[in-house]
Amino acid sequence: MGKVNIEIDGKKLVADVGSMIIEVADDADIYIPRFCYHKKLSVAANCRMCMVDVSNLPKAVPACATPVADGMVIQTQTPKAVDAQKSVMEFLLINHPLDCPVCDQGGECELQDLSVGYGEDVSRYVEGKRVVKDKDLGPLISTDMTRCIHCTRCVRFGQEIVGIREMGATGRGEHVEIGTYIESTMDSEVSANIIDLCPVGALTAKPSRYKARAWELRESPSIAAHDCLGSNVNVHHRRGEIIRVVPRENEAINEVWLSDRDRFSYQALTDGKRLLQPKIKKNGQWESCDWQTALNFAMTEMKRIIGASNGDNFGAIIGNNSTTEESYLAQKILRGLGCNNIDFRTRRRDFSADDKGNVRSGLNFPLQDLEHMDATLLVAGDLRHEQPLATLRVRKSTGFGKAMAINPFDGEYNFRLSHEIQPEPHLLANEFACVLSAVAAKKDDAISAEIKEWLSGVEHNKVHSEMADELIAGEQTCILLGVYAQEHPQAETINWLGEQVAKLTDSKWGYMTQGCNAAGNKLAGAVPNQSEVGGRATLGKNAKQMLNEGLKGYLIHNCEPDVESLWSEQALENFNNAECVIALTSYDDGRMLDYANVMLPIAGNFETSGTFINIEGIWQSFAAAVAAPGDVRPAWKILRVLGNLFELNGFDYESSIQIRDELREKYEVSGDKKVSRKMPEVLCSSEKFEAPRESLGLYRVDPMVRRAEALQKTPKASTHPISISRVKT
Amino acid sequence: MNKKLKQFLNSFLLIELLKGLAVTGRHMFSRKVTIQYPEEKTPQSPRFRGLHALRSYPNGEERCIACKLCEAVCPAAAITIEAGVRESDGSRRTTKYEIDLFKCIFCGFCEESCPVDSIVETRVFDYHFEEQGAQIMTKEKLLEIGLLHEEQLAKDIESDAKYR
Ligand code: SF4
Ligand code: SF4
Ligand code: SF4
Ligand code: FES
């Protein structure tokens, strides 16, 4: 890309040809006021606030829409520029109501700030102001459309980033209104980003409406816990109460966006029915007690059951969103007691690869690359609802590349698919194998005889062949296996196919995981086949066995297998029949009250410190943003004390950081273990199996999300999970 | 020598005593300023900064819109506000409004910052508390004081309006 020399406010700068003045100024830390410009959106140039003075031009020009040219001399503070900005400001304020005192944006409002800089203190305008009726955009976003300054950021966001035109401008001039054309709620999974985008208080967050002012809030960085990307967030809290969660910019992960799920799930902590004290069930009645009593009870029961059965009759189910430290301690305790029944994969059916040590789970390439793909093949993933922000990246790639899907879902995509196959769920692996066969046909020389043999009898058709063509032709291509692929009874076959197709077509490949810390949990050893960092362990029972076989005792950490696992009914029954169920939970409700025998209150996300490892393998540690209420303790502390009670060695951590460092050290020594996937023996077993027909659903993924009131009120909460019923042929 | 003589005359002739008595005498006939508190009270400025009150509109609606400017401006951090959406009409209202009078330094900043003339300081300055915690003026108490003094408050604000 060519470079040009320009000068802004006397600063000599080198800029890329084609970049706009405002981008160059932003990079050089020279502030130019703006309303409609946003670095992630297209240039609309409709607010005219960014006027700058370019030498040799008779009038001030908008910096966001004027490309730089060699030798340009730009002034941002000359009377010409400032006058233009002042006039724009005056026009904007004509119709803007004077309601900053009741506006939630007050204190962090771009219009407010700029009117201090460029506005007059007394208005010359005496005529009546315009009033616009508010729109009902659903339970997440509240509107005060009179405040709208028609910057169209929200419109462009829907159109360009999400690909769903939810908002639009109707009318002209004085009568322009921003709204949803027909009265309808916003129901994309990332809709609430328009709250951040809106420079004024026209769009604000409904759950935190009127709760606090910007200046009262304290900000703590944290990591969101509801999908495997590990979006970076800032938690805004006041007097120890979380008021809202906003995205923290991280180009490599969430850019500047945040999914609604990550943004509003905090409500479970503030408004949910929290368990504030340890409780023991005595004669069917719950009694609050102190930690000592509760932990002693838990310890005695565990000792008894594990001792009586050699560790066979006790099992731990770890929640998907547990921190790496928690999982590490949990497995350390269990293995210390001689019990290997621990698992977090309550939504997995295929455990056939469990005896082969593999540490890494997830993507084998940077998430960011998703947006540069010439071809993306999505296999069995409801990407939009599982990793909403990953979809935005794939969507970007469809601007020039192709997206294809083999998906048993009656999928909702926000990008155009060039090819789509919608197989019956149980034929998923077969369809994928057809693609491999199509690739094999084109790359005959690169294929081993073994695979050829395996593929004999797999017939591919035109669509498969075209898919293969795309993958082979594209320079950067990838195969993305969705969460459903991992839930599928043939998950390992699908993984193997993914690997093979990727190898043959020189694509990247990776799979998405359920929850936010699958990689971390696995690395920490919360799996029955290996201890931390892929260490050797006697093979224990996996989640499927534990939930189906009916053990005498269970430890349930931060999850509700009776709701979210694939065997919810069996789980419920077995929990009810168990002698002792020890539940580490944040909430004092649900069926857990029936089946648990002791409940230990653990701090929720944002209340505990820890580490999440995302699919890309990035370790993201965070500190607690707020203190947990009541007698609630961070789970790592509870597990540490439990470890001490059992008199196990190596449980004298003073902070979660020590735990992490210990694990990290071990990981650095062991490194990523290379997985060698064995070729599945047969593509499809002759016995016909019933493949699952339902996904977990956007707002049902974990206990926290299920208790977030606003999210549960959205239309998506009831129409999702989508069931896989219709098959396109 | 001279000095000593002067001293002697001064004390022998009781000159200093007479000087003092002259002051007393003068004041016996001048205008009296002592007032019989509490029966009588000194005049107060319309800007007097006494006990706080929250005002209401004539229709009974509280004025305060929970903007929290007073809370932010208070140098003594005496004001605590919690706000939310009022169930009945969705408007922005305080759910808790408290002033700790032990913290308050009666600077009047809160009054000045209020965009709707809601929090004001009345002319009341003589009050006491008998119980621990009574110094926390709750929203109810403040609104009540507001109602009690509304007439005076309105007049005071009116008379001061032209200087604002
Ligand atoms: S609602 Fe906000 S973001 Fe949308 S056009 Fe109006 S001011 Fe811009
Ligand atoms: S008078 Fe001053 S110190 Fe007292 S509450 Fe008001 S702002 Fe605070
Ligand atoms: S009393 Fe006035 S300044 Fe204080 S919150 Fe209410 S409206 Fe705002
Ligand atoms: S920011 Fe340039 S015209 Fe709006």
Residue-wise pLDDT for B2-60, tens only, equals: 888 888 888 888 888 999 999 999 999 998 888 898 898 888 999 999 999 999 999 99
Q: Say if A22 falls within a structural domain.
A: yes
* Shortest CA distance from A142: residue in chain B: B90
Asked if residue A305 and residue A245 are part of one domain, the reply reads: no
Give the position, in ligand 4's atom list, of the atom nearest the Cα of A37.
1
Q: Are residues A493 and A621 in the same domain?
A: no
How many residues does this entry show for chain A? Answer: 729
A549 and A610: one domain? Answer: yes
Choose one of A43, A65, A92: the last residue of a domain: A92
Q: Are residues A536 and A586 in the same domain?
A: yes
Q: Are residues A172 and A293 in the same domain?
A: no
Residues A453 and A595 in one domain: no
Residues of B in contact with A100 (CB under 8 A): 67
Q: Do A102 and B69 touch (CB under 8 A)?
A: no
Which of A222, A244, A270 delimits the end of a domain?
Answer: A270
Residue to test with chain A: of B61, B68, B94, B113, most A Cβ within 10 A = B68
Say what the pLDDT of residue A186 is.
76
User: How confident is the model over A146-195, as pLDDT tens digits?
Assistant: 999 999 999 999 999 998 888 888 888 888 899 887 777 777 899 999 99
Please state, rounded to an integer, the average pLDDT across all residues of chain A: 90
Residues 9-68 of B with CB under 8 A from A: 65-68
Query: Residue A162 maps to which CATH number?
Result: 3.30.70.20
Q: Is residue A356 part of a domain?
A: no
Same domain, A229 and A192: yes
**Per-residue tokens: A584:** 């580490």
pLDDT score for A390: 94
Give residue A356's pLDDT: 64
Check CB contact under 8 Å for B66 and A102.
yes
State whether A118 and A264 are in the same domain.
yes
Domain containing residue A549: CATH number: 3.40.50.740
Looking at chain A, the whole-number percentage of residues with pLDDT higher than 90 is: 69
Residue nearest to atom 1 of ligand 3 (CA): B119
Give the atom of ligand 3 at the shortest distance from the alpha carbon of A101.
8
Closest approach of B92 to chain A, Cα-based (Å): 6
**Residue B39, both tokens:** 């029966």
pLDDT given at position A727? 39
- Show the tokens assigned to A199: 């420079």
In a domain, A321, yes or no: yes
What part of B 70-109 touches A (C-beta under 8 Å)? Answer: 71-72, 83-85, 91-93
User: Quick one: pLDDT band at residue A311, thresholds 50, 70, 90?
Assistant: confident
What would the pLDDT profile of B117-144 be if each residue is shown by its tens digit? 999 999 999 999 999 999 999 999 999 9
**Does any domain span residue A360?**
no
Is residue A478, in this structure, part of any structural domain at all?
Answer: yes
Ligand 1, atom 4: closest residue by C-alpha: A154
Q: What is the DSSP letter of A678?
A: P
Domain of A190 in residue numbering reads as 110-270
Interface A–B counts its CB contacts (< 8 A) at 30
Question: Which CATH number does the domain housing residue A471 bear?
Answer: 3.40.228.10
Q: Which of B85, B93, B115 faces A101 most closely, judged by CB atoms?
A: B115
> A564 with A696, same domain?
no
Q: Which residues of A touch B115 (CB under 8 A)?
A: 101
Which amino acid, one-letter code, is at B38? Answer: P
pLDDT band at A456 (very low <50, low <70, confident <90, very high): confident
CA distance B100 to chain A (A): 17
The three-state (H, E, C) secondary structure of A223-258, written as one string: ECCCCCCCCEEEEEEECCEEEEEEECCECCCCECCC
B85 to A210: CB separation less than 8 angstroms, yes or no: yes
Do A115 and A262 belong to one domain?
A: yes
Do residue A123 and residue A263 come from a single domain? yes
- Residues whose beta carbon lies within 6 Å of some atom of ligand 4: A 34-37, 45, 47-50, 62, 64
Identify residues of A whose CB sits under 8 angstroms from chain B CBs. 100-102, 106, 209-213, 215-216
Distances (CA, A) of A539 to A223, A335, A354, A357, A487: 32, 11, 8, 11, 21
ipTM of this complex prediction, to 2 decimal places: 0.85
Q: Per-residue DSSP letters for A331-350?
A: HHHHHHTT---EE--TT---
- What's the predicted TM-score (pTM) here? 0.91
Percent of chain A surpassing pLDDT 70: 96
Q: Which residues in chain A are contacts of B67 at CB distance < 8 A?
A: 100-102, 106, 213
* Residues A266, A284 within the same domain: no
**Neighboring chain B residues of A102 at a CB cutoff of 8 Å:** 65-67, 91-92
* Crossing angle for the helix pair A491-505 and A428-442, to the nearest 10 degrees: 20
The residues lining ligand 3, judged by C-beta closer than 6 Å to any ligand atom, are B 64-70, 81, 113-114, 116, 118-119
Q: Whose atoms come closest to the Cα of A210: which ligand?
A: 3
- A727 domain residue, yes or no: no
Residue A533: the pLDDT is 86
Residue A354 inside a domain? The answer is no
- Confidence label for B76 from pLDDT (cuts 50, 70 and 90): very high
Atom of ligand 3 nearest to the CA of B110: 3
In a domain, A361, yes or no: no
Cis upstream peptide for A721 (omega within 30°): yes
Helices (H), ranges, A490-534: 491-505, 518-524
Per the structure, how many domains does chain A have? Answer: 4
Using a 6 Å CB cutoff, which residues line ligand 1?
A 148-154, 178, 197-200, 202-203
